[in-house]
Chains A and B, each alone.
Chain A
Amino acid sequence: MQRETCGPPPQSALNQGLLRFTGALAALVGALVLCGWLIDSNSLKSVVPGLAPMRPHTAFGFVCAGIAFWLLHVPSRGARLVVRLNAALVGVLGGGTLFNLFLQWQRGLDLPSDAAVGFPAALIDLGRMAPNTAAGFVLTAAALFFMSRPSKMARISSLALAVIGSLVFALGLMVFTGYVANLAVGIRWWSLTGMALHTSLIFVLIGLGILSVAWEQAGLRWIIGRRLAACFLCGLGLFAAVATNSYRSSQEILEATNWVRHTHAIVAGLQQLWADIADSQSAIRSYLMTGDQEFLGSNLAAIVAIHTHFDQLRDLTADNQAQHARLEAAGVLVVEWMELDRQRVEALAGVMTGTPFNPLAEKNDRMLVDQIRTVLDEVEKEEYALLAQREERSTAVVRKAFAVLPIGTLLGLAFLCSGLFLLNREVIRRQQSTEALLNSEQRLRSLVVASSQVAWISPPEGHDARPLFPDAAAPGAGQEVERYIPGEKTAIHPEDLRAVQAAWKHALQSATPYFAEYRAREADGTYRDYATRAVPVFNPEGRLSEWVGACSDITGRKQAERENRLLNAEMQQIVTSAGDGIVRLDTDGHLLFLNPAAVTMFGWEPDEIVGCAFHEKVHSHHTDGTPYPREECPALAALTDARVHRGADELYWKKDGTPVVLDFISTPLFEEQEVSGVVILYHDTTERKKAEEALRASEKNFRELADAMPQIVWAAKPDGFLDYYNNRWFAYTALSLEQTVGWGWEMVLHPDDLQNCIDKWTTACRTGTPYEIEYRFKRGADGSYRWHLGRALPVRDAEGTIVRWFGTSTDIEDQKRAEAQIRELNETLELRVTERTAQLERAVKELEAFSYSVSHDLRAPLRAIDGYSRMVMEDYGAIIESEGARLLGVIRSETQRMGQLIDDLLSFSRVGRQQMQSTTVDMHGLARSVFAELLGREPTRSVHFTLGELPPACGEAGMLRLVWTNLFSNALKFTNQVADARIEAGWRLEKDEQIYHIRDNGAGFDMRYEGKLFGVFQRLHGEAQFEGTGVGLALVQRIIHRHGGRVWAEGKVNEGATFYFALPIFNP
């Protein structure tokens, strides 16, 4: 697991500093002490010489522990290994020592109480660590072990660390207090080796360090107030002081008691001594007097007792130099006295040799005993004086203790009670705040539920978001994390996802509030709009601790926004597209807005007039030039009286100074019950008035026209209800409008026509198709029925809806009769036409037969006459005279002329009958080829010929060729006697004709005979002068007429002639 490898839990900088400081100090002190041992410096070993020194292995242990503490928060594997290694070393050091101590427990107990004080004893115990130090090391090792553990076991380790820390701290403090208060009991355990002063201080520091770690691991904070802490500290301090004082007092009393006992022992010893001396004196005296040896034995026992008691006294007074000296002096006197006694006893024995009783000796003996007595009395007196002195001091201490005890206890109690009170108050306050917190959380929860939002929290990294109140969601409301965090799995709409991701990433990186609006997918696959906000939450250290967010469904708002936007756009469109001018003024009459129609109406562009005083711009004066004050303006009155005003035909001025007449509706706008402006709607009535005028005029015209018409005119509503007739109707039917309005016309309709008429009229009204019918109406004057033609057309509006029917009924009685007559006439006419046509056809056929016969039969005799004449000349030429030959020649030439005449006539007749097959004819080419052909027959002629660019024509090519042939041959014929013959063919366009002409400068003709030119066999010149049959121009005229054209000629005698023929214009 990831958390396994991330090392000990992070500690605050303060804590780390404390641990490092502790580590550094421990290692430094350890190193110094080791140096002290090397250079044998007492001040390094035990700070204050004479106190217990720090042992070398203790110092080594501190170096190890110090390094471990220093490295405790270096986040690397190696450091951790070193920490654990050092912890193990420290543990083994302490544990080993304790183990050793327990194994050799007895020996430790055997040692005299002051064995460790002196150096020799300390040296013996160089390898022995103080047991409390060893215990401290064991605990420190355990603490190091726990502290280097991952924070997974935080709760257990923090508890263990708290216990260990407290123990180490207490251990150090106890020793330190022992040193401070000079109490051996804290320093030494079981009178074993004591802990050094600096050791104790380091343990205090280590204990504090461990406690701080425990404190932080448990996530504790110092929440007790300063006053409360002060109270408890004061109370505890007072109790400690009282306890210390009591302890010291007890010690004093105990000492005083000892002293009394001591004094009594000395006094008793003195009295014993004295009694022994008296015993010895009496024994010697008895001996001396009796010489009884038994008394010598008693004296010896007394002397032994004297020695014994003397020694006891010497022991008892060993602590008092003065007493000791006195006792020694007494001892010298006793020895001297005993020597004297020994001499007396020996003297007695010498009685044999001397006097057994010596009065001088007796006197000396007494004097010595007195001296001894005096010294011993002094000793006794001194003892009693000392006793009194000590008792007095003891009494003072006890008195003081008695005074301190209640006062201190009371004060301590008071402080504790105050502390308790404060604590209670604090607890109550906390409880209240907790309740408030709970309440507030409950309120928050209710708020979240009520607001239908999803509240969520997320770790600082931004993943693992979860609902704040998973159980608080309303049913159906999605709490899925996919809704509000763009994580791996997301319900956010793909189009919005990128933006949301960017926003979330930015928020995470900058630790700034996060906000996003987006669409998210529901369980049913539809999308709804959501808005999510999140704020970063920071802990007191200023580190980001978590994200708190809320996600709300804003589909409704979004929808409303969209609709609102749409509505606004629509409103805008409506206002913009309105045909009427709309302007919006503020309370001062300044223009805020005008729509396009108003722009058109007044001629002012928005940027020219918006913000200006509207009235003064467009409504400033009347037609006559007098000013129009704003106060009188009815449209602006809405601003003052907050009512809707309407006005008609109000004159306004456009930008270019032209007047415009407008209707208006002025509506005040309200904001918070106050008039905030006015909207004026302008309607341009100019067009409408014109239209109304036109309508009135047109209606008048219509009525006049309708009344003037000889027909019956009527009008009907779309449903067929007739509501108008012209005067002609009333004159014809002799009925009134009231009688015939609507469907009243049925009464004058011929019964036979009624049903048909009703059917047709209702059908027309239903389908909107034009109505046409013939029916008979009864004339009011004579009751006769006359035929009428009824017609009606629907009038539709712009949408195509029928708004009106207009109808006429025309009297067609006369027409009907005329038609009948015409029909009758037509029938006979057709018969006649058929007859005539038949006759004509017959005639044509006859004519054709005639022509046919002529072509065959008339030529045959001519040929015979000519042939036989020729035969006569051939066979009998020799015998015929010249006159005969001339006559035969005349016969022949006349027959030939006859033949020509017949040919021309036939040709003329054929042109009349021939079927025409019209094609496009190249008139230019035709004219040129015909002329060339004709000229080719007269090779001797020299003619100046000019041919214009003739346009093509539509016609029968063969016939048109005949036209050119005849006209050119005419021109050639009539110029054959002119020296400078000129023939010119050209054309011109005139209206819908193309006119061709052939001009020559030949014989010409007299315009008086122009009418005869085109007649058959009509000739204007003699046969002798110009040969010809007189058929050519007739033929030309016939052909041109058949082509729908015309032909004419201009001429003057001897000045030439021009022949024209016009054909319909032809556009190929």
Chain B
Amino acid sequence: MHPHSCTHACSRAAPAPLARAPLAVALCAFALSAALIGCDAEEPPVEPPPSEPIAESCTGEIEPGPSPLRRLTRIEYDNTVFQLLGDNSRPGRAFPPDEEAGGFDNQAAALSVSPVLAENYQSAAESLAATYAARQVERLDGCAAPVDRETCAASARAFVQTFGLRAFRRPLSAAEVTLHTGLFAQGVALGEGDYDPQAGLSLIIEAMLQSPHFLYRVEFGRNPDAAPGEVVELSSYEMASRMSYLFWNTMPDQVLLDAAAADSLRGAEQIGEQARRLAVAPRAREAVRNFHRQWLGFDEIEHIASAGKSPAVYPDYDEHLLPLLQEEAEAFVEHVIFDGEGTMQALFTAPYSMMNAELAGFYGVSGPAGEAFEPVELDSARYAGFMTQAGLLAHHAKPDGSSPIHRGLFVRERLLCQIPPPPPDVVPEAPLVDDTLTTRQQYAQHKEDPLCAGCHVLIDEIGFGFEQFDGLGRFRETQNGQAIDATGSFHSTVDIDGPFEGVVDMAHRMADSTQVRDCVVKQWFRFGHGRAETEADACTLDTLSLDFEASGRDIKSLLVALTQTDAFRYRRVVAPGGE
């Protein structure tokens, strides 16, 4: 490392990414830019969790924060058309990927509808409508042969109301009923013969599936006459949608719709009661998987296949393992939350995982005989929860080795909720690295540079804790014939600073940490509300943390608690065209 180039870089300090920066650059540059903001001092370098006591952040005023218009994600679209139409073809998989921010695909601010997506909405609507209309037309009075036009038109009108209520997740206005019955009347002339009810029906469905009231979760609150700036409660139908998309990533079921029709989704108690039902339903499992898939990057495990692993270094690498590794991670989370301890601590520290025969063979442990995934007890001195699963560790690794930088960054960003300051706009060049040393020894070169050392400890001192797991994510005791040193340390955390001995020790510290707890809360908040937290959400977040703690850090309880917050139950009225 050239001190000169470092100094130069510092003088032009400005943001740049660390997340995927290569080893040496990231090390040094991180040190540099962090040094600029006092990295060597006692101050934590990055956004500290809220430190105000609850009493101070909650003023007694209801503060919901922003409530942006939320578009269905691809997953939500597929789930919704499954429930609405019984269609399991998952057309959303062919859509362009949802724009992603902060690790989640459902963040309102990032989502956009490009011409290609509008085109996809159109073709999906056409094909879904064609299938569904063909089935439904037989059931409509007067629409099946022999056709009675008057009766059929009345049936179509009833269809608009009943189907529309489920598609828009609320009753249609009179104008909307008129609009869609009008489409039916025009549509019947555009099929076979001069009166084709199926074509008319199809037109209704095509239009509804492209309507903003289907593709977005439109909310105005209970009181449409409230003045801008006022805080309003959500209507029961709006609440039904919020709840079903939170817990199930799909449209409300009949129970929720009935509750909405009875206007009985008001107040913390009624909402909480429904929330507890939703949280334990089978459909919640997939939504909870979806959250973890994104938060912990389980969906990125398959990306390992893109570059693969070096056959020379990892002859055991086989890309057919990747789906198994992802399933292990997701099945583990599901098992812990729904069938096991249910807690955040167990996610981090449980001395078991979910494996089938092939995966147990890969890990070299005894496991089930078949293809089904079952709990497998593991050596608690080596393994701890998701933290030691091979999919995650192989993903945060290089094709030919481990990567303390990537692993440390994963912990820092996703689990501690601290985005490190990036390398400056112009970074120093990476120095030569001696490939024959252990990974840790290669890093030591940079540690000697005082300019780099100040901050690189923030990331790779965490990453070192994973060194007993190689680039395939498998346990090892030696590298290049030398014993692995897996000691590491936390720096600039709220409550877990200090050394630890390997990943198991690290995981246990994290499981008990308030910073990690608050990070879990924050991630669920972002996923649940489709947005990043703002200053206005301080009370909501602090309350969530308190409730989460009181429940023994039970994840399902956290989900229920999410429905009790100001941010979930209220919205602030925005003037048309206003901020």
Instruction: Tell me if chain B binds chain A.
Output: no
Binding site for B on A (CB under 8 A): none
